[in-house]
Amino acid sequence: MNKTASLALGAFAVAAISGAALAQDATAHETTAPAHDGAKSDLSTAITDVSGSAEDLGFNAFAPAEHTGHVKDQVGTIDLKYTPSYRYEEAGDLNKNGGDISVDRWGSALRMDYHAEDDALWTFRWGYERSNYDISGGRKASVADEALDNATVWSLTLAHLRPINEEWSAFAGFGLQFGGADDVSFSDGSNFMGAVGAIRKHDETLSYGLGILVREDFEDSAIVLPLPIVTWQIDERSALRVKGLKVDYSYDVEHDLTAHAFLDYELRSYRIDKDPKFGAASDGSVDDTHWLLGVGLDWKPRDVEWLTVSGEIGAILGQKFEVQDSDGSEVTTNRMDDNVGFFVGLSATLSF
């Protein structure tokens, strides 16, 4: 079972990268930045988010990619990033008289990168997202709306990336994630997750790899997912990145402006409160999954190096809400009717 959980400005909730120690004897390697000032560098020695669409807390979080912020290229230094965000989603009408659904998602993330010896990187991340689901017009809209009241996902994660030699790097990680609605307890809504994988640096412009993600289920089972990784600097201005089930194409329009086009699969899962009014779903869970197809812009003010402002807009495809009981058996599944939903978002990243 996959897990996760009025037009307004919105933004993606930046989520968590997970990781744990990986003991390897490694030698340092060098990377050369492309000539264009706005182009990105350091293809294989950092873990970061791919700019563009929202990331759920945990699914794409393990896949390393190039570092898109300023990097203090010195052993023993620490980089900090804080990202507040907001995103509005209009999912549209669901089948089986599931009602019309819109969502306000408020998020924040704190990330700390520690640059160790031998080009190794430790990343600690805290991520938080609160989703306000507005469900109306359905057969049991009021009950469903109350079941997803104050739907929250947060995570604490640690990641480690280390070069093995000039060509290969390896990463590993672990994390704790909570997903629950209303008054769900910490013990009922928490799951552990971990990942391991390797990346090959083909040349100064291309790296690729594969990882495996293992994630707990609410019902004591687990899911295993592949994490494909590609970072390709196509030319001085454009790049293609694959991170899990997210594909992002970026183009540096100007020194301070980068445009994106992306396709992303998001998964969120929430434990439902134990209450008889929720019927068979009481003490069960809800999976909220969909595809995002969109475009975005990242703006870095020329005189404010520590600030990046990002916006995005696009379509929601394949929206699905799957409800399970406390044993993990399906209660109902509601999918989007023929209409296509939309989303719009805004975020700001402060780098120190």
Residue 11 has a pLDDT of 27
d(CA 281, CA 331): 7
- Asked if 31 contacts 45 with a C-beta cutoff of 8 angstroms, the reply is yes
Residue 139 has a pLDDT of 61
Q: What percentage of the chain has pLDDT greater than the value 90?
A: 36
Average pLDDT on 16-35 reads 33
Q: What percentage of the chain has pLDDT greater than the value 70?
A: 75
When the pLDDT of each residue in the chain is averaged and rounded to a whole number, the result is 77
CATH architecture of the domain 78-351 equals Beta Barrel (2.40)
Amino acid at 48: T
The residue length of the chain stands at 352
Residue carrying the six token digits 């989703």: 131
Residue 5 has a pLDDT of 35
Residue ranges per domain, the chain? 78-351
d(CA 258, CA 250): 7
- Worst-scoring range by mean pLDDT, 24-33, 62-71, 87-96, 276-285? 24-33
Confidence bin at 131 (pLDDT 50/70/90): very high
Can you read off the two tokens belonging to residue 223? 């899911």
Residue carrying the six token digits 């209009």: 90
Residue carrying the six token digits 């009481």: 282
Residue 187 has pLDDT above 60, yes or no: yes
Reported as a single tens digit per residue, the pLDDT across 197-231 is 999 999 999 999 999 888 888 876 788 888 899 99
Reported as a single tens digit per residue, the pLDDT across 232-259 is 999 999 999 998 888 999 999 988 999 9
d(CA 190, CA 297): 34
Average pLDDT on 315-340 reads 82
Amino acid at 31: T
Reported as a single tens digit per residue, the pLDDT across 31-56 is 333 333 333 333 333 333 333 333 44
Torsion angle defined by CA atoms of residues 275, 334, 92 and 133, in that order, rounded to the nearest 10 degrees: 20
- Report which of 109, 105, 107, 151 is spatially closest to residue 126, judged by C-alpha positions: 109
Kindly give, in sequence order, each residue whose CB lies less than 8 Å from that of residue 9, ignoring residues fewer than 6 positions away.
Answer: 86, 88, 311, 344, 345, 346
Find residue 229's DSSP bridge partners: 209, 243
Confidence bin at 10 (pLDDT 50/70/90): very low
Can you read off the two tokens belonging to residue 123? 């990343």
d(CA 333, CA 143): 16
More confident residue, 97 or 87: 87
Residue 287 has pLDDT above 50, yes or no: yes
